[in-house]
Structure 1
Amino acid sequence: MSLSDDFSGFSLIQNAFASSTGVTTDTRTANEGKLFFALKGDNFDGNRYAKKALEQGCIGAIVDDPAMAQELNGVILVDDVLSALQSLARWHRRKWKCPVIGLTGSNGKTTTKELLKAVCKSRFPGVQATLGNLNNEIGVPLTLLSAGANPDFVIVEMGANAQKEISLLAQIAEPTHGIITNIGRAHLEGFGGVQGVIQGKCELFDFFRAEGTKTKEGATVFVNAMHPILLEISHSLPRALFGTQKHPPFVSQVHDDFTMSWTDLTGAEHGPMHCQISGAHNFENMMTAASVGLYFGVSAEACSKAIAGYTPDNNRSQWIKTDRNDVLLDAYNANPSSMESALTFFEGIAKNATDSDAFVAILGDMGELGDYGTAAHKEILDLAVQKGIKVITVGSLFHESAKTHSSVASFMSTAELTEHLRRSPLKGNKVLLKGSRYIALESALNAL
Structure 2
Amino acid sequence: MRWSPDSLAAQAEGQLRRRGATEIAGAFIDSRSPRPGALFVPIVAARDGHDFLAHAIAGGAAAILVRRGHPLGSVDADGPGDLTPEITVVEVDDTLAALTRLAARSRDRVEGPVVAITGSNGKTTTRAMVQAVLASAMHPVLCTRGNLNNHLGVPLTLLDEPHEPRAMVVELGMSAPGENDHLAAIVRPSVAIITSIALEHLEFMGTLEAIAAAEAEVVPHVAPDGIVVVPSDEPTLRPHLPASERGPAVLGIGPTEDADVVVLGVALGERTEATLRLRTGDVITVRLRCFGAHNARNAAAALAVGTHLGLPLPPMLQALEAVEPVGDRGRVHHLGPHLLVADCYNANPGSMEAALGSLAAIDRQGPRVAVLGDMLELGPREHELHAEVGRRCAALGLDLVITLGPLGEAIARAAHDAGATAHHVGDDLEAAAVLVREALEGAQPGAVLLKASRGVRLERLLPRLGLEG
Give the structure-1-normalised TM-score: 0.87
Taking structure 1 as reference, are residues 83 and 316 closer, same or farther at Cα in structure 2, changes over 3 Å only? Answer: same
Q: Deviations over 1:393-444 (max 9, x none)?
A: 111112245345374211333xx12355258734354110001001011110
**Paired residue for 1:50?**
53
How far did 1:84 drift?
Answer: 1.6
**Paired residue for 1:444?**
461
Distance 1:434 1:128 in 2: 30
Distance 1:13 1:264 in 2: 56
Taking structure 1 as reference, are residues 361 and 78 closer, same or farther at Cα in structure 2, changes over 3 Å only? Answer: same
**Paired residue for 1:341?**
354
Paired amino acid for 1:34: A
Q: Deviations over 1:45-66 (max 9, x none)?
A: 3221111112333122223384
Distance 1:223 1:290 in 2: 13
How far did 1:255 drift?
Answer: 4.5
Taking structure 1 as reference, are residues 90 and 424 closer, same or farther at Cα in structure 2, changes over 3 Å only? Answer: closer
Shifted more, 141-150 versus 286-295: the winner is 141-150
**Paired residue for 2:157?**
143
How far did 1:270 drift?
Answer: 2.0
Paired amino acid for 1:233: H
Q: Deviations over 1:235-265 (max 9, x none)?
A: 4232242334333322234345422322223
Taking structure 1 as reference, are residues 228 and 302 closer, same or farther at Cα in structure 2, changes over 3 Å only? Answer: farther
Contact 1:69 1:77 survives alignment (8 Å) = no
From 29, 32, 35, the equivalent of 2:33 is: 29
From 245, 251, 256, the equivalent of 1:241 is: 251
**Paired residue for 2:403?**
393
SS at match of 2:407: helix
Distance 1:342 1:432 in 2: 8
Distance 2:322 2:338 in 1: 24
How far did 1:11 drift?
Answer: 5.5
Paired amino acid for 1:402: A
Higher helix share: 1
Contact 2:117 2:127 survives alignment (8 Å) = yes
Structure 1 residue 59 corresponds to structure 2 residue 62? yes
Taking structure 1 as reference, are residues 238 and 431 closer, same or farther at Cα in structure 2, changes over 3 Å only? Answer: same
Distance 1:14 1:197 in 2: 46
How far did 1:207 drift?
Answer: 2.8
**Paired residue for 1:311?**
324
From 266, 271, 292, the equivalent of 2:280 is: 266
Distance 2:231 2:20 in 1: 43
How far did 1:378 drift?
Answer: 1.3
How far did 1:371 drift?
Answer: 1.4
SS at match of 1:178: strand
What value does the CA root-mean-square deviation take over the aligned residues? 2.7
Paired amino acid for 1:447: R
Structure 1 residue 379 corresponds to structure 2 residue 388? yes
Taking structure 1 as reference, are residues 6 and 170 closer, same or farther at Cα in structure 2, changes over 3 Å only? Answer: farther
Contact 2:342 2:449 survives alignment (8 Å) = yes
Distance 2:167 2:11 in 1: 30
Contact 2:141 2:167 survives alignment (8 Å) = yes
Distance 2:294 2:200 in 1: 15
From 15, 32, 38, the equivalent of 2:42 is: 38
Distance 1:120 1:161 in 2: 28
The 5-angstrom pairing of residues 195-274 of structure 1 reads 195-208=209-222, 215=223, 218-236=225-243, 237-243=247-253, 244-257=256-269, 258-271=272-285, 273-274=286-287
Distance 1:339 1:125 in 2: 36
SS at match of 1:151: coil
From 92, 111, 128, the equivalent of 1:78 is: 92
Distance 1:55 1:335 in 2: 42
SS at match of 1:167: helix
Q: Deviations over 1:64-97 (max 9, x none)?
A: 3845546534543433322221111112212332
Distance 1:253 1:8 in 2: 50
**Gaps in structure 1 of 5+ consecutive residues:** 209-214
SS at match of 1:412: coil
How far did 1:106 drift?
Answer: 0.4
**Paired residue for 1:212?**
none
SS at match of 2:32: helix
Q: Deviations over 1:279-301 (max 9, x none)?
A: 32111111000010111121222
Give the structure-2-normalised TM-score: 0.84
How far did 1:153 drift?
Answer: 0.8
Distance 1:275 1:307 in 2: 7
From 364, 367, 390, the equivalent of 2:373 is: 364
Paired amino acid for 1:223: V
Distance 1:138 1:13 in 2: 25
Distance 2:188 2:435 in 1: 54
Distance 1:324 1:444 in 2: 19
Paired amino acid for 1:202: A
Structure 1 residue 296 corresponds to structure 2 residue 296? no
Distance 1:239 1:80 in 2: 37
Taking structure 1 as reference, are residues 136 and 13 closer, same or farther at Cα in structure 2, changes over 3 Å only? Answer: farther
How far did 1:231 drift?
Answer: 3.7
The 5-angstrom pairing of residues 88-99 of structure 1 reads 88-99=102-113
Paired amino acid for 1:372: R
Taking structure 1 as reference, are residues 263 and 387 closer, same or farther at Cα in structure 2, changes over 3 Å only? Answer: closer
Distance 1:39 1:115 in 2: 32
Contact 1:17 1:23 survives alignment (8 Å) = no
Taking structure 1 as reference, are residues 12 and 321 closer, same or farther at Cα in structure 2, changes over 3 Å only? Answer: farther
Q: Deviations over 1:317-338 (max 9, x none)?
A: 1111134742111111000110
Distance 2:17 2:261 in 1: 45
How far did 1:314 drift?
Answer: 1.1
Taking structure 1 as reference, are residues 142 and 219 closer, same or farther at Cα in structure 2, changes over 3 Å only? Answer: same
Contact 1:30 1:58 survives alignment (8 Å) = yes
Distance 1:270 1:7 in 2: 46
Distance 1:57 1:182 in 2: 41
